[in-house]
């Protein structure tokens, strides 16, 4: 980009900040009140009182399910947790040490090849694919991790909830119910967030009338970045590298002097606090006591306090979720994939909404390069 700023149109907004790029019935972020709701229900209330599958149903269908509807939805998804041998054989070819998000993208592309409905974008096919993707993605994340570490695969179990079954597939042990509930709450808080970067990417792909799996693969590439979903891995790595509460102040001073960003802080839309963080913080405090950790939560609170004082910045959704995942023993490399499998319901709901009233998303840009150049043949340059 050259520096000719003279004729930049007045409606240009770097990073599309403040631009309304669509109309949606799915989530509302109210930055004036630091509030987030899914289909009109406060997200933090859903995170405390609903299950992940109730929320997925709500996001996909626009209403909370009654008992019979939830039972039928859960039964369908529980059956879809089983990954085919053909698919698992493919996963076994991914080299050890591959990045978790890159592997997940490849795995979703492979599911697209095996899904008979891949090329169909009508509402009913999209809903079926959404259910399969929501059910399959936790099984894929767990399988990729275990294959990548030379561990035997754990078959899904039908008597555990969507969230608890993921923890079981990761470890082979049935999780403590309180830990499973807190983990489920983080999944609900990750499930949807309007036109965030990965959802918007998915919509650009869907708007070309490409299919749901392709849109999800596009979203995965965007979520991987450290300014988006990658921040949860960055946040815990930061806390571990600080190591001790007494190192927080000198570490932060040096980091800010170098003008580096602190992962897990700040947000494009929220200005005073991320509406999802207070509940996450409460859960982390509770789980710290439960697992007997006395170090990480106070360290995280100290950095929170110092960031508020130095930069007036607050923790976002990725900060305390990363602490929770660490406390419950999840390996860091699956934190961003966990964000992805949680956001699957939100991505799918938006892709369905886009396909139901499609308009190609194709913005314009202001040209700032050279003009009226005279072509010189190659041998005369």
Return the active site residues.
228, 267, 318
Token pair belonging to 143: 């399988």
Residue 19 interacting with ligand COA (CB under 6 A): no
CA angle, residues 167, 347, 356, in degrees to nearest 5? 145
Binding-site member from 120, 268, 290, 308 for ligand COA (CB under 6 A): 268
Q: Which range in 54-62, 211-219, 298-306, 309-317 contacts ligand COA by CB under 6 A?
A: 309-317
SS3 295: coil
Residue 192 vs residues 20, 286, 306, 339, 346: alpha-carbon distances, Å: 17, 25, 29, 10, 4
Residue 337 interacting with ligand COA (CB under 6 A): no
Euclidean distance between CA atoms 235 and 315, whole angstroms: 10
Bridge partners, 131 (sequence order): none
Burial track 183-216 (b if 16+ CB lie within 10 A, e otherwise): bbbbbbbbbbbbbbbbbbbbbbbbbeebbbbbbb
Bridge partners, 42 (sequence order): 37
| CB-CB contact of 288 with 327 (8 Å) | yes
Binding-site member from 120, 154, 311, 361 for ligand COA (CB under 6 A): 311
Taking the complex as a whole, the smallest distance from the CB of residue 29 to ligand COA amounts, in Å, to: 12
Instruction: Name the one residue in this structure whose structure tokens are 């710290």.
Output: 288
Taking the complex as a whole, the smallest distance from the CB of residue 302 to ligand COA amounts, in Å, to: 16
Residue 52 or 339 with smaller CB distance to ligand COA: 339
CA angle, residues 60, 108, 143, in degrees to nearest 5? 105
Residue 308 interacting with ligand COA (CB under 6 A): no
Burial of 182 (0-12, 13-18, 19+ CB in 10 A): buried
Residue 73 or 270 with smaller CB distance to ligand COA: 270
Residue 336 interacting with ligand COA (CB under 6 A): no
| CB-CB contact of 59 with 26 (8 Å) | yes
Taking the complex as a whole, the smallest distance from the CB of residue 347 to ligand COA amounts, in Å, to: 16
Euclidean distance between CA atoms 270 and 39, whole angstroms: 19
Residue 34 interacting with ligand COA (CB under 6 A): no
Residue 318 interacting with ligand COA (CB under 6 A): yes
Length of the chain in terms of residues written: 381
Backbone Cα Rg of the chain: 22
Q: Which range in 59-67, 72-80, 315-323, 369-377 contacts ligand COA by CB under 6 A?
A: 315-323
Residue 317 interacting with ligand COA (CB under 6 A): yes
Euclidean distance between CA atoms 104 and 240, whole angstroms: 26
Taking the complex as a whole, the smallest distance from the CB of residue 135 to ligand COA amounts, in Å, to: 26
Binding-site member from 263, 283, 301, 330 for ligand COA (CB under 6 A): 263
Residue 350 interacting with ligand COA (CB under 6 A): no
Residues contacting residue 259 through CB under 8 Å, at least 6 positions apart: none
Count of residues in contact with ligand COA, rule CB under 6 A: 17
Taking the complex as a whole, the smallest distance from the CB of residue 318 to ligand COA amounts, in Å, to: 5
What x/- string results for residues 218 through 257 when contact with ligand COA is judged by CB under 6 A?
A: ---------xx--x--------------------------
Residue whose Cβ sits closest to ligand COA: 266
Residue 286 interacting with ligand COA (CB under 6 A): no
Binding-site member from 65, 100, 266, 337 for ligand COA (CB under 6 A): 266
Interacting residues with ligand COA (CB under 6 A): 15, 227-228, 231, 261-268, 311, 313, 316-318
């Amino acid at each position: 980009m050259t520096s000719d700023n003279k004729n930049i149109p007045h409606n240009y907004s770097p990073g599309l900040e403040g631009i309304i790029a669509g109309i949606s019935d799915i989530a509302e972020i109210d930055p004036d009140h630091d509030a987030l709701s899914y289909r009109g229900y406060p997200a933090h209330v859903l995170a405390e009182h609903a299950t992940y599958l109730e929320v997925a149903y709500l996001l996909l269908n626009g209403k909370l399910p009654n008992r019979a509807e939830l039972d039928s939805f859960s039964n369908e998804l529980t059956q879809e947790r089983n990954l085919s041998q053909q698919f698992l054989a493919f996963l076994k070819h991914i080299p050890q040490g591959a990045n978790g998000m890159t592997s997940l993208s490849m795995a979703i592309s492979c599911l697209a090849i095996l899904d008979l409905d891949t090329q169909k974008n009508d509402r009913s096919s999209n809903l079926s694919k959404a259910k399969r993707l929501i059910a399959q993605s936790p099984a894929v994340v767990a399988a990729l991790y275990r294959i990548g570490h030379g561990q035997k695969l754990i078959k899904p179990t039908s008597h555990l909830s969507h969230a608890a079954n993921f923890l079981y597939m990761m470890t082979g042990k049935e999780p403590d119910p309180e830990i499973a509930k807190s983990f489920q709450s983080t999944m609900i808080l990750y499930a949807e967030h309007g036109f965030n970067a990965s959802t918007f990417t998915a919509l650009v792909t869907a708007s070309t009338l490409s299919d749901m799996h392709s849109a999800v693969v596009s979203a995965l590439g965007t979520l991987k970045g450290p300014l988006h979903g990658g921040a949860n891995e960055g946040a815990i790595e930061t806390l571990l590298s600080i190591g001790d509460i007494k190192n927080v102040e000198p570490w932060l001073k040096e980091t800010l002097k170098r003008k580096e960003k602190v992962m897990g802080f700040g947000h494009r839309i929220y200005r005073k606090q991320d509406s999802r963080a207070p509940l996450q913080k409460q859960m982390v405090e509770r789980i710290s006591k439960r697992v007997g950790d006395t170090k990480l939560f106070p360290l995280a609170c100290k950095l929170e306090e110092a960031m508020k004082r130095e930069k007036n910045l607050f923790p976002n959704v990725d900060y305390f979720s990363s602490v929770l995942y660490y406390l419950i023993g999840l390996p860091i490399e699956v934190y961003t994939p966990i964000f992805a499998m949680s956001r699957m319901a939100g991505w799918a709901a938006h892709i369905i909404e886009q396909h139901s009233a499609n308009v190609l998303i194709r913005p314009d840009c202001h040209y700032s390069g050279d003009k009226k150049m005279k072509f010189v043949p190659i041998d005369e340059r």
